[in-house]
């Protein structure tokens, strides 16, 4: 994301959900396939260090496409958090987010060029090594053929200057070379492999969200991110839809600069506070030029290849 500046009855929402299999219009791999044998770009952070340890294996993080009939009444209410903070949104509406959201597996990214302010958002994604984040590629590299940002740090559940779960540093980055060379908006996704902290990997400490590839365009998602103007995260619930062949969109107010990389989580369980990531803010217009409409690159085969590269050595 560039630094951009009445509720329906449950029955009505269930009718909408019944018509959303979660797998409509699933595209094949990106329309700009990589040249044969071209590996994904792996950036190494400026700071040197010991490669991340393998740690305790976590969940595979590669569930299949979300199946039809998932959105039962109980699951819809569960996704809404069963609280006064989230209500099921009307289709086509633009909700206002909840402020000061608790986000144990979502955090702020800081770097040496951001004057001490967080500049993006990232989240823990399930991996065999338990040490992988997902974010937007433009949070790591501008896409103009230059180098990656330096001295990046990840602070999960950051709020008001506090780092309750520690400060985590990258071991390496994984992005598509077509993003690095030409900022292809359909490839605006990056994975960060973290170093251990105090002898543990981040997933062992916090758990992780799953990730789904080729999952379709229409989902009820919870999106949590860190606006650069705020010192705590915001969260919003709404339906996603298709923007273009390889882009999703999501409407909610106040997702300004700093929320790039925010995970789009479906199947959110309010008890475990985990779910399945089907997008991250980025892609078209680097996530959106207005605060009320955000975008994500579609997590297709190309993005799955990046995930596999990030996890193969983790």
Could you list the pLDDT tens digit for every one of the 314 residues in the chain? 544 432 333 333 333 333 333 333 333 333 343 333 334 444 544 433 333 333 333 333 333 345 555 555 555 545 434 444 567 887 788 999 998 888 889 999 998 765 556 789 999 999 999 999 999 999 999 999 999 998 899 999 998 888 999 999 999 999 999 999 999 999 999 999 999 999 999 999 999 999 999 999 999 999 999 998 888 999 999 999 999 999 999 999 999 999 999 999 999 888 888 999 999 999 999 999 999 999 999 999 999 999 999 999 65
List the CATH code of the domain at 10-20+41-312: 2.40.10.10
Q: Is 8 exposed, middle or buried (0-12, 13-18, 19+ CB in 10 A)?
A: middle
Are 106 and 156 in contact, with CB atoms under 8 Å apart?
yes
Tokens of 240: 């996603």
For residue 300, the Cα-to-chain-centroid distance in whole angstroms is 14
Helix, strand, coil percentages in the chain from 3-state DSSP, rounded to 5: 15, 25, 55
Sequence-distant (≥ 6) Cβ neighbours of residue 277 within 8 angstroms: 123, 125, 134, 209, 210, 211, 212, 263, 264, 265, 299
Are 133 and 122 in contact, with CB atoms under 8 Å apart?
yes
Are 20 and 67 in contact, with CB atoms under 8 Å apart?
no
> In the chain, what are the domain boundaries?
10-20+41-312
């Amino acid at each position: 994301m560039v630094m951009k500046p009445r509720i329906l009855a449950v029955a009505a929402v269930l009718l909408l959900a019944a018509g959303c299999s979660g797998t409509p219009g699933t595209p094949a791999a990106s329309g700009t396939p990589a040249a044969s044998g071209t590996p994904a770009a792996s950036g190494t952070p400026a700071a040197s260090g010991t490669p991340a340890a393998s740690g305790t294996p976590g969940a595979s993080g590669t569930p299949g496409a979300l199946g039809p009939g998932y959105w039962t009444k109980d699951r819809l209410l569960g996704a809404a958090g069963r609280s006064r903070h989230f209500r099921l949104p009307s289709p086509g509406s633009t909700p206002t987010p909840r402020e000061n959201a608790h986000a144990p597996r979502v955090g702020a990214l800081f770097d040496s060029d951001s004057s001490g302010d967080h500049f993006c958002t990232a989240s823990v994604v399930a991996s065999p090594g338990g040490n992988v984040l997902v974010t937007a590629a433009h949070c790591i590299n501008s896409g103009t053929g230059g180098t990656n940002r330096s001295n990046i740090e990840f602070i999960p559940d950051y709020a008001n200057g506090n780092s309750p779960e520690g400060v985590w540093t990258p071991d390496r980055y994984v992005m598509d070379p077509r993003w690095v060379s030409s900022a292809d908006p359909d490839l605006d996704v990056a994975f960060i492999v973290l170093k251990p902290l105090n002898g543990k990997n981040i997933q062992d400490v916090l758990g992780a969200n799953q990730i789904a590839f080729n999952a379709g365009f229409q989902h009820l998602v919870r999106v949590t991110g860190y606006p650069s103007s705020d010192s705590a995260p915001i969260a919003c619930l709404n339906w996603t839809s298709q923007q273009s062949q390889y882009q999703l969109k999501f409407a909610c107010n106040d997702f300004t600069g700093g929320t790039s990389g925010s995970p789009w989580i479906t199947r959110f369980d309010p008890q475990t506070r985990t779910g399945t990531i089907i997008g991250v803010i980025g892609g078209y217009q680097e996530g959106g030029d207005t605060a009320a409409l955000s975008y994500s690159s579609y997590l297709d085969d190309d993005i799955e290849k990046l995930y596999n590269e990030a996890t193969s050595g983790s």
